[in-house]
Amino acid sequence: MDQRVTNANAGKFRDPAVTADGSPRATVALTNPTTLWFNTGTLCNIACVGCYIESSPTNDRLEYITAAEVRDYLRQVETLGWPVTEIGFTGGEPFMNPEFPAMMRDALSAGHSVLVLTNAMKPMMRPRVQALTAQLIKGFGDRITFRVSLDHWTEAEHDAVRGPGGFAETLKGMRWLQAQGARLAIAGRARWHDPEPEARAGYACLIAAEGFAIDAFDPAATVIFPEMDETVPVPEITTACWDILDTSPDAVMCASSRMVVKRRGAAPSVVACTLLPYAPEFDLGATLAEADRPVALNHPHCARFCVLGGASCSG
């Protein structure tokens, strides 16, 4: 586990069976596997402040997954009879992967909807990639959702995270996607601790000014993700917490999804969720069948992002 996690949460998140005070740790079973994620690789065209996966132009800890490897997992879904309706792609920046358009087509051709997490910047706007993406939008319509990272509704705050010119470049990409008839969504961040009504009103003004077909007040269309700062102390989740918080383990992301990653120099494997691609204790095996087992909520992200934050990466 990261040393920062140990320092911020001394004594916590050590034993998958019990919490620091000896209470039984909460676990989540895979009860309804409706989303399968693929990390296309951690390389990205930019390096953002606070990126939980540390994506950058040089970070290839997760290698480019290939279209053939994605097809193998799509076949596993069919063989297992999992009720998967959504295939999610994240990175890094998915459009950096040269085989990404083929992965999208294979997932769509298998009957799934596709959710793409993208910054909508230069990798997507290369002429060849634009042509292939436009073909997919024309052929599959709103079965593809492009959830674009727009950290804040103002240029100054967005660019403080993603670098000068990022806001303008992302809006250019969003305008292009909308002109193709693409279905758009926004991924924002709660980094600035703005009250949620204020944040949604801010996004609504931007959306109206741009003419985007996005509902700023729909949490599925404009997602404002809690920050994932591992240096902040968080409580552990025990089995008693479900009743205390009046929630169900079925509402947590790892009850309905898994993610395939390809670590550098290794074959693809399946991890519990999109948030923990590097943590070996959340690697569940090489196949989807092996990954069909309960997950112990033994990491600060499990508490802060999923259970207490109520967030999910799925559409």
pLDDT in tens, the chain (315 residues): 343 444 667 789 999 999 999 999 999 999 999 999 999 999 999 999 989 899 999 999 999 999 999 999 999 999 999 999 999 999 999 999 999 999 999 999 999 999 999 999 999 999 999 999 999 999 999 999 999 999 999 999 999 999 999 999 999 999 999 999 999 999 999 988 899 999 999 999 999 999 999 999 999 999 998 877 667 788 999 999 999 999 999 999 999 999 999 999 999 999 999 999 999 999 999 999 999 999 999 998 898 888 987 767 777
Alpha-carbon dihedral sign for residues 69, 112, 175, 167:
negative
Enumerate residues 6+ apart whose C-beta is below 8 A from 205: 153
- How many whole angstroms separate alpha carbon 94 and alpha carbon 265? 19
Q: What is the pLDDT of residue 311?
A: 65
Kindly list the distances between the CA atom of residue 94 and the CA atoms of 32, 82, 88, 289, 294, in Å, as whole numbers in the listed order: 26, 25, 10, 26, 29
How would you class 233 by CB atoms within 10 Å of its CB: exposed for 0-12, middle for 13-18, buried for 19 or more?
Answer: exposed
What domains lie within the chain, and their CATH numbers?
Answer: 29-228+254-296 (3.20.20.70)
Give the residue carrying structure tokens 């909807």: 113
Q: What is the pLDDT of residue 7?
A: 61
Q: Which two tokens stand for residue 166?
A: 């990022």
Q: What is the pLDDT of residue 243?
A: 94
Q: What is the pLDDT of residue 244?
A: 93
Partners of 269 in beta bridges:
261
Q: Which two tokens stand for residue 77?
A: 């879904």
Helix (H, G, I), strand (E, B) or coil at 165: coil
Q: What is the pLDDT of residue 4?
A: 41
